[in-house]
Structures are given as structure tokens and as C-alpha cells.
Amino acid sequence: MAVFGLPAHVGAATAGQSGTTPLSAPKSKLTLKKSYSAKSARVRRAKVARARLANRGRETTEAQVPRFKLDEHGSLVPDIRAAAAIIYNPQNGQVLWESNSQNPRSIASITKVMTAAVFLESDPDLTQEVVVQRSDVYAASTTYLRAGYKVTTGDLLHLLLIASDNGAARALARVSPYGFDGFIDRMNDKAVELHLDSTRYADPSGLLPTNMSSAYDLAKLITYVSGDDRIASIMRQQYYSLSVGRRIITVHSTNQLVMRGDVDVQAGKTGFIRTAGYCLATLLRLPQGGPQVAVVVLGAPTNAGRFWETRHLFNWLSGKAQEVFGTPGTVAAAQPQQ
């Protein structure tokens, strides 16, 4: 008997096979289509990745070239690519140059500068052992820690300031005399005491975009913490190693100015989340043992850009050292970053 719509000899062959033969061709075509689509998606992703890499390379190359413009007095001044920046004289609080320096912005991991300052207020024992909790490392983004690790508070402080470890920030807040929530309250109280009027903290790591400050406030803050060698000396270290059981963990500074070592960094901290862009707060000493200046760059478009913008601002001021400070200055030549 013929199956409806098919010749009799086909119907007879398929009627006893539950229709497997007619469906085999569409399955094959579907498999081919899926395979083709997956391949196309991989090709598209590769093209997008290459385009992003090329664009990043162009941005880095452009960032290496300082930009200038004429101000209202006809003087040549920096024309930055970042959202905000400042050059600040810590000796007298004078703003030597600025762009949007009073605007509150998300500051990402520069938050950890205040975390360190508040934690050290109680003069803690930096050899105290801490057991890392799951809450310290859960969704921490950047951390070298795992739940159950036993480390010292000194280790945590180094991870905080050198590697910008978010788990370390949470652990320090948790074991502080204030407890986690009280620690954040104390961070905000400390900001008020230091007259950081645009500064508000929502967590000790900087992962939350509601950690806010301004370039001006951060210049004052980096100047303040530089007076505590327990903080400043760590910020100047290129790397740090700690032992966790039989494991050795070595971390490197996120601050390329420290890693390259061709600028005299007294203190500094990086920060990045998407909302904040690439940020850097530094205290630098001018060449030949000159005065210190705080340079803060917020919202740079690239990782390399924040370091180049800082270098350009530093070089520009260094060339004006005689005029600004009454002392000679030498421009620190900017070398291409690898």
C-alpha cells in the first residue's frame, strides 16, 4: 500500500521504519548548518579580537605623544585624553594644573588607598594570621587568595597595594576592629576628617562603581598616606612573594611606573573598572632630588594611557620646575612601554 504523497515502493520501504529515511536528510543538513554557523561565529570573533587589538595598539601609540593646547593666557598647557587630572603641590596645597579635577568620579581600586590607611590606624600586628573566608574571595574579580588560605595581615596589605587584590581588601576590613560594615563607615568618616569633600566609599575594594572621589581629593589622599612608610614603602615595591602552605605566590605591581623604575615614585595606586576607566594616583619626585608632586589621572581610555598621561604631565611640570619651584628641572624622557 502506498503512503500518501509518496510512490508505492517508497512508502512500502518506509512504513515499517517509522519514517527514518525521509528524516535523515534534514538531520544531515541541520548538522551542516550548525557546523557552518559555529565556524562563522569563530571567524567573526577572531576578526573582532584582531580589530580590538589593532585599535588598542593605535591608542597606545597615540598616547605616547603628549598633546598641548593654548590656555586663556596664551600659554602652552597639557591637553589630556583622560576625563580628569591634576598636578598638585603637596608642600602648600597649590594646584599647579588641572582638568575637571573637582568632578566626582568612580575611582575603582584607588579606593584601596583609604582601605590601607584605615586598617593601619589601630596599629595592628602585621604578623597576625588570618584565615581567608569564602566571602572574601567570592566574585572578587582580581584575587590571588582562596578560601581556607592562612596568611598574615602583612601579606594582605602587600597584596592590597601591590597586586590590587580585592579579596585582600575584604579580608582586612573583616578582621579590623570595626568589622566589615563598620570599616566602610570609618572610611567615610576618615574622608570627612581629611576634608575630602567629593569622596564617598561603598566597599573597601573599589569593585562597586559608587566609590567616588575627585582628582583633587585623591591628590590630597596620596599625599597624606605617603607620610606613612608602612604604606608608601609597599607601594614602591615591584613584586612581593608569600608562602601559603607549600605554595609560593608572587605578585607584581600593577603600577607600570614602579615596574619600569625610570620615574621616582614615592607612592601610587592604580584603579580600573568599566565605569571608572583607567585611573592612577601617584606622588612623584622631580629629577635630581627635586620637590614632590602629586599627579592624578582619572578615566583614561586605556591601561597604557594612564601611565603615559601621568608621564606627560610630570615631564611638562619638570620642564617648568625653575618657574614653579625656583629650582632647575630635567625632563624625564618618556620611553615606549613594552
**Structure-block grid coordinates of residue 277:** 576607566
**Count of alpha carbons within 13 Å of 234, Cβ hemisphere only?**
23
CA geometry: angle 181, 184, 190, nearest 5 deg:
140
- 172, 194 in Cβ contact below 8 A? no
pLDDT of 33: 57
Going by C-alpha positions, the residue among 129, 75, 80 that lies closest to residue 101 is 80
Q: Pinpoint the alpha helices (H) of the chain.
A: 8-15, 20-63, 111-120, 134-137, 153-162, 166-175, 179-193, 215-225, 229-235, 256-260, 303-319, 321-325
Q: What are the domain boundaries of the chain?
A: 64-325
Within 8 A by CB and 6+ apart from 330, the residues are 287, 288, 318
Gap between the Cα atoms of 240 and 260, Å rounded: 16
**pLDDT value of position 328:** 61
Q: Are 96 and 87 in contact (CB under 8 A)?
A: yes
181-216 b/e with 16+ CB inside 10 Å = b?
eebbebbbebbeebebebbebbbbbbbbeebbbbbb
Rounded mean pLDDT, 2-28: 46
162-214 per-position pLDDT tens digit = 999 999 999 999 999 999 999 999 999 999 999 999 999 999 999 999 999 99
Question: Is pLDDT above 60 for 332?
Answer: no
In percent, the amount of the chain with pLDDT more than 90 equals 75
Residue 262 clears pLDDT 60, i.e. is over it: yes
Among 281, 160, 166, which residue's Cα sits nearest to residue 213? 281
Read off the amino acid at residue 338: Q
Query: DSSP letters along 246-314, please?
Result: TEEEEEE-S-HHHHH--SEEEEEEEEEETTTEEEEEEEEEPTTT--EEEEEEEEESSHHHHHHHHHHHH
Radius of gyration of the chain (CA): 28
Residue 207 is classified by DSSP as -
Residue 41: is its pLDDT beyond 90?
A: no
| Calpha distance 185→182 (Å, rounded) | 5
The per-residue pLDDT for range 90-136, each reduced to its tens digit, is: 999 999 999 999 999 999 999 999 999 999 999 999 999 999 999 99
Q: What is the pLDDT of residue 51?
A: 77
Residue 20, pLDDT score? 47
Listed in sequence order, the residues at least 6 apart from 65 whose beta carbon sits closer than 8 Å to its beta carbon are none
CATH architecture of 64-325: 3-Layer(aba) Sandwich (3.40)
Q: Contact, 95 vs 216, CB < 8 A?
A: yes
Round to whole Å and give the CA distance between 198 and 253.
28
Task: Check if the beta carbon of residue 262 is closer than 8 Å to that of residue 237.
Answer: no
Please tell me the pTM assigned to this model: 0.83
Cell of 279: 585611573
Q: What is the dihedral of CA 180, 185, 190, 195, to 10 degrees?
A: 150
